Structure formats: C-alpha cells, structure tokens
Structure 1
C-alpha cells in the first residue's frame, strides 16, 4: 500500500506539472468574437402548416378518420369535384403537420428544408408525396409553400398480424422542399444607431473583454457591456451605410473568453466531464469498498433403496447449500496537494483502477467537503 501511494505521489507530481503547462497554453488561446455569440435580431423564425400526403400504399389514415375525409373533400372541391366527406374511403392519403425554420435574411425563392409528421393514424409515410402546403408564422401570415416527395428513414410492413418496423416511419423530411414566398429582413440596428452583441454563455468578464477589444480595435469608446449577456455597440453615422463591413470587422476580433468552472456528472452512463483547470483545495481521500458474495448450490438428494419396506415417506429432496464470502477491499488513500485539478484527480484514480462510478462518488464527497471549487452538475 505504501509503495502504491509513493508511486501515485510521483505520478501526481508529473501530472501536475504537465497540467500547469496545459493551463498556461489554454490561457493564451483566443476565440473570435463571432464564435462567442450573435447580434440581437439574428434569429430563425418557426413556420408550420397543415397538409396532405398522397400516394401511400394502403398505409395512410383509416377511413374512420373524419379529419382526413374532410380534408380530402376540401381538396376535391378546389377542382370542382363535389364529394361528401363520408364518401372518401381511401387509405392512400394521410393528414400531416409540416414545419420549417425560416432563416434570417431569407429572400423570395430561397429553398428551405421541411419536416413532415403524421397527424392521424397512418401506419407509414413511405413513398408519399406532400401536396402543396402553406407554411405560416405565428402572426398568421404565409411565408413559404412546401411540396415534394418524402424521405423517410424507416419502414413498416405488416401481414397476418406480423409486423416489421424500423425507426419511425410516420415522420419524414423534404430537403429543400419549401420555397420562400415572403422574405424577412432582420433588424440589427436600432433607431438610435446601436446594435447589441449577445453572448451564448453570459459572463461578466467575457462581456467586459469583448467591449474592451472592440474599443481598442476601433480606437474610440463605441462598445459598452450592458450586462453579462449583452454588449451595446454604437455605430458611427458614416459606418451605417456600409454596416456589413463594420460588423465583419467586429466579428474578426479575438479575445480570451472566461468561464465558470463546472464539473458534469452523468450517473446513468458514468461520464465525468470537467475543465482541465478546475481547482481542488488540499484534501485527503480514502475510498474502500465492501464486497459480499452469496452463492447458492442446489443439489438433489435421490433415495437409493426405494424398494425396501412399503416405500412410505420415501421421496426425492432438493438440498440447498449456500456459501457467503465477505471481502473488505483494500482502501485507496492519498492526499491531493493544493492547486491540483480535477484532471489530476481523475488520472490519479484511474491509475489505481477506480471505476467511473466510484470517481463520481468521490467528486460528490469532495464538493460536500468544500474542496471542489466548481459548480457540480449532476444529470
């Protein structure tokens, strides 16, 4: 045990020195402002529509589905065909919901992807073709029209009660299946001539660094960190006519972002994820386990002299022999020096073949002891 601790201390010292170099290298890494967030107003818009998929091989909605029958009757009426809803008995059609995302700065004629999902009791949408469907935004206006053949990543076949199914055959997609009819223009600039850069991960230090780097590069105090999530940027009047060039200059700037220390524990899969510089205070760790093994061996006792006497009370008997083995595993004990990281701890525990779930238990205990200086997130 002493030899193991000595080896572990040597390994820990080596790992600590290597991690220190890695931390210094990480501190010098810079990230483009473009990769840290986006400008306010740069967002996608949700579109949704209600349509019909035709051409199914008997896998569509059942004739008892009143919604499908009414929808088909409405379609027929647009072509001067008068068919009562109760007379529609086809199983080759299905009612579906169609959804898409309208990107910012979309122009009329642009093609966008759509997702089609069954809204009735259809068994499969394989081989179906979506009829022209209007896609609306939450404001009720039509922004795109969708149609085309579905691409379904699954199938379902049934015969005589036997069913063979793969993935979800009641959902599919149409790449580029919608055409934008009404474009959108994201408003980045306010009436006061300012725009706001929003950080993907709000942080006061990072927001301050973004504002400072923009002011340094532009040579004037145009940027100011409003809070941990946003940086307000005032656009000079002579730059407003060429806003694209002004924004591209800002996006090309680089800073060193700051972030809160976090350790993610997933007990379901036994996964531990943490930053390489998550610090630990000086802490002593001792971890052992008690293993109890119970083995039961069932044997049959068969009488030998069955024919002697009248045989009354003579029968076969099952005998259970149980053995209990208790082993108190050798505890692993060591002391983490001050300034060590979670990466050092995990590597040290791995050297002594500690399981991932035991590592999770140790990290939770260290957090409870107040020696883990990071947010512990358990999933």
Structure 2
C-alpha cells in the first residue's frame, strides 16, 4: 500500500469520527440578539387616551335614559358649532354612542404620522358597526394633546336579535380605526442630549448583564459598556447623530449567550395550568396521593295519614352522607436533574393538574423541589 492510499484512508477515518462526534457532542445553546433581551431606556411608546362620539349607527347607539352623558356630550358639541337646543328639549339618540379612544404613540413619532386607534363603547350601545368617530383629541399623561383621531370604525364581528333570541360573533362594542389618528406633537427624548445610553435587561440576572457588557466591549472596544447591576448596562455613545444610529443598529444585532434562567414553576390556579422551565430539579422524596370525596344525598319522604284519622300529610327529607377516601400508594421519587426526569416522576403519581398544584406546593415546603413557585 502506497503513501497516497494510507493518506486517503486516514482522511476517511477522520471524517467518520467527526460525523459520529456530531451526533453525541452537546450543542451550545443558541444565542439571542441583544434587542430581544434588553431595551433602551427612554425609547418607549406613550399611551394616549381621549373621549369622543361615534355617529351614524343603525339604531344601536346609547339609550339616553341610562347613559345621559351621551346627550350632554352631543349638546356641548352642537353649542361649539353655534347650535343651541331649546330649554327642556329631550334628545332621543339611537345613532350616537359615547366611546373611549386609545392609541399608542411610538418613540420618535413626528407630527403628521398616522396611528392606529382603538374605539370602545362606554355606555349601553348594542353595536358600533357602521359608525364614524368624529374628531377626538388624544391626550397623554401630562394632559397635553398629542394626536387627533377621526374615521370609520372597523368591527370584526356580527350579530342579530329577534323575538328574544340573539346570536353574536365576536365583540361588537369595540373596534379599530387603522391610521385613524394623526400625530400633532412629538415627545422630546434625551437621545441627542446625553453621551451615554442605558440598556435595561428584561430579566434580573447578573450573568446576563455581564454577557451583554462583554459582547459590546468585544465588538466596539474595551470600556464601551459597563454592567451597573443585574438589570442595567451603561454604554458610551459616539458624538455624531448619524454615527449613533449606526452604532445602535450594530448593538441591536449582537449575539448574546443567554444564561440558564432561574428555576421556576408557574401555576395558574384558575385554569389548573402548570409550566416548568428547564432549570427545575427535584430531590429524592416520597409522595402519597389519594382523593377524598364527601357525597351528601337528600331523598324526600312523604308521610300519609290513615284514612278517617283526621291527620295531615307531612313531607320530610332523608339525608345520607358518605365519605370516600381512595387509597394512595407511597411512591418514591428519585432525584431528577433534567426536565424530562421531573416530568416522568410527576407522571408516576397519576394526579390531575388540580392535584399537582397541592403536590408541588407540598414538595416545595418539604425542600424537595428546587424551584420558585409563582401563582398567577
């Protein structure tokens, strides 16, 4: 065998080893982008709110006897237009509804840009379908007007009622107006006034904050970023506005090695849902679970008097109370260091989600569950 054949076999063997190692060698966790786990402080949306009237309804508006503010609002609007209603006049409105208008003002929004608004009924209107929102100022938390909303309300639903029967699909008392508001005033931001910017990490984790600072310093040079605490990372910005935009665009797409989250079990007591993350582990313990049920049944008993005895019929009840306690076997649960082991151990109990709520709480109290319980 010559040297070329030996070299070829050696290369084939190395390729086989590399392919087989890829099957069992642990794969690193997928990195996430910086903008997915952190947000820039001050770059956020602002909530806007306004009160207005929707007109043009097909007899499905507010009833003025139960929603008098609708008639008062319409009367005030007519007075601004120079129309005065006679004293003591009663307004029977069926095509008008009082609504609350809400919108979200995005960061860096400038006057003239369009916003989507949500319109929700305040009174007892049956439907806002086919209505038109008249000019409504939208105010922020400071009481200043930041937008004006007006347009046709889009309702994704339908309904009909007749003879005491009613059929309804989706919600008819709330809808949206795409591009129904215009920005009238921009919100000032300290974007160009400060030489630094602060990243707020979503999770309060010192390791994640350190990874963010290290990734920024590796990409933009040492000393660019500094982790202040487990949630805050301070970053130095370039002086020129154009350079700042390019700088922040590069930072948003930086890959950050996401650390393992804290062990947590989230329990929804209303629906019985239980969610465990991958960091949850259990220690060795023994669990016995059995159901206890109490059944109370009542049977009416009628006592009839004998004929010609001048007696009266007496109705009584016979009550039967039964207590049934199902036996529960003592199950030994081994220590589990993976989420699959924890799930298998909990499945051996054969308990429903409602029973698992109590079992997990008892395991936490006994020190066998290494996780934080959060009830929502």
Residues 16-54 of structure 1: CA distance to partner in whole angstroms, max 9, x if unpaired?
xxxxx99x64x6221111100211111111112222111
Offset, 1:223? 0.5
Offset, 1:213? 1.3
Mapped to 1, the partners of 2:321 and 2:143 lie a distance apart of 73
Residues 264, 377 of structure 1: 8 Å contact kept: yes
Report what 1:39 is aligned to. 40
Given the alignment, which residue of 133, 137, 141 partners 1:138? 141
Structure 2 alignment gaps of length 5 or more: 1-22
| Partner-residue secondary structure (3-state), 1:276 | coil
Report what 1:117 is aligned to. 120
Which aligned pairs between 1:265-344 and structure 2 lie closer than 5 A?
265-281=267-283, 283-290=284-291, 326=324, 328-337=326-335, 340-341=337-338, 343-344=340-341
Residues 227, 233 of structure 2: 8 Å contact kept: yes
Is 1:366 equivalent to 2:368 in the alignment?
Answer: no
Distance 1:345 1:332, change over 3 A: farther
Residues 40, 188 of structure 1: 8 Å contact kept: no
Report what 1:170 is aligned to. 173
Is 1:98 equivalent to 2:104 in the alignment?
Answer: no
Offset, 1:163? 5.6
The range that moved more, 367-376 or 60-69, is 60-69
Report what 2:14 is aligned to. none
| Partner-residue secondary structure (3-state), 1:42 | coil
| Partner-residue secondary structure (3-state), 2:370 | coil
Mapped to 1, the partners of 2:254 and 2:243 lie a distance apart of 18
Mapped to 2, the partners of 1:184 and 1:247 lie a distance apart of 20
Offset, 1:341? 4.0
Report what 1:49 is aligned to. 50
Is 1:72 equivalent to 2:74 in the alignment?
Answer: yes
Offset, 1:102? 0.8
The range that moved more, 45-54 or 319-328, is 319-328
| Partner-residue secondary structure (3-state), 1:107 | coil
Given the alignment, which residue of 205, 208, 230 partners 2:207? 205
Q: Which has the higher contact order (CA 8 A, sep 6+)?
A: 1
Report what 1:15 is aligned to. none
Residues 163-211 of structure 1: CA distance to partner in whole angstroms, max 9, x if unpaired?
65555433222122112233446433543x1001111222222111111
Offset, 1:100? 0.7
Mapped to 2, the partners of 1:97 and 1:289 lie a distance apart of 52
Structure 1 alignment gaps of length 5 or more: 1-20, 304-308
Mapped to 2, the partners of 1:202 and 1:286 lie a distance apart of 34
Residues 44, 104 of structure 1: 8 Å contact kept: yes
Report what 2:257 is aligned to. 256
Report what 1:349 is aligned to. 346
Residues 35, 253 of structure 2: 8 Å contact kept: yes
Mapped to 2, the partners of 1:156 and 1:323 lie a distance apart of 48
The range that moved more, 69-78 or 92-101, is 69-78
Report what 1:7 is aligned to. none
Residues 303-332 of structure 1: CA distance to partner in whole angstroms, max 9, x if unpaired?
9xxxxx97979x999997979685642414
Distance 1:229 1:290, change over 3 A: closer
| Partner-residue secondary structure (3-state), 2:61 | coil
Mapped to 1, the partners of 2:365 and 2:319 lie a distance apart of 44
Offset, 1:351? 4.3
Mapped to 1, the partners of 2:250 and 2:288 lie a distance apart of 54
Given the alignment, which residue of 157, 181, 184 partners 1:181? 184
Give the TM-score normalised by the residue count of structure 1.
0.78
Residues 73, 84 of structure 1: 8 Å contact kept: no
